[in-house]
Amino acid sequence: MPLRNTAHRYGWISIFLHWLMAIGVFALAALGLWMTDLTYYSPYYTSAPFWHKSIGLLLAALLVLRLGWRLANLKLEAVPGHKPWEIALSAWVHLLLYLLLGIIVMSGYLISTAKGQGISLFGWFEVPALVTGLPEQADRAGAVHYWMAMGVLGLVALHALGAFKHHLLDRDDTLRRMLGMRLKNAKES
C-alpha cells in the first residue's frame, strides 16, 4: 500500500492520521465529560484538565497536519455506485467535522487562556496566552466548546453510520479504503 493517496485508495499516512484523530476525539470527549463532574477535592481536579489541554494541543497540531496532507494529496474518486446526494452529504460532513474541530480547538484555547496563563504541553513548553480579558471569555468559550463537541460527536456518528451502511448494505469499498484493506470493486492503484 502506498504512503500517499491514489485515485482509488487512501495511503497509509491518510489512514494513520484519520484513526489517530478519531482516537484523540473520543479520548478528549470522554475525558472532557468526566472531568466536568470532578470536585475540588478530587485527586484528578488539576491533572485531568492538564491532560485534556495537552492532548487537545496535539489534536490541534494533527488537525493542521491532516488538512495540509489532504490538500497535498490526490482526492479519491467516488466509489462506483455512490449516488450524487451521498457524495454531497459526505463532503458536507467532512467539511463540518474539520470546521467544528477547528472551533473546538480555538474555544478550548480561549477557555484555557482566559486568565492570562499559557497552556502547558505535557510540561515540555507553554503555548502563550495571546487573547485574554474578553467579557466572560471562559464561560462563553466553554459553552461553544461543549456544544461544538456534541456536534462533532453527532457528525462522527453520522460518518460511522454512513461507512457501515456502505460496508454492510451496499457492500462497496468505502470502509475498506480507510481500513487499508484489499479493495473488491475498484482498481488497486
For residue range 35-80, what is the model confidence (pLDDT) as tens digits? 989 999 999 999 999 999 999 999 999 999 999 999 999 889 988 8
Number of domains into which the chain is organized: 1
**Per-residue pLDDT tens over the stretch 71-105:** 999 889 988 889 999 999 999 999 999 999 999 99
Q: Are strands 119-121 and 125-127 parallel, antiparallel or unpaired?
A: antiparallel
Does 185 have pLDDT greater than 70?
no
Is 42 domain-assigned?
A: yes
Is 140 domain-assigned?
A: yes
Instruction: Name the residue among 88, 139, 85, 132 with its Cα closest to residue 113.
Output: 132
Distance CA 119, CA 50 (A): 9
Is 3 domain-assigned?
A: no
Is 116 domain-assigned?
A: yes
Is 186 domain-assigned?
A: no
Instruction: Categorize the per-residue pLDDT at 189 as very low, low, confident or very high, splitting at 50, 70 and 90.
Output: low
Instruction: Name the residue among 59, 56, 24 with its Cα closest to residue 120.
Output: 56
CATH code for the domain of 24: 1.20.950
Is 40 domain-assigned?
A: yes
Q: Which domain holds residue 124?
A: 12-179
Is 2 domain-assigned?
A: no
Is 185 domain-assigned?
A: no
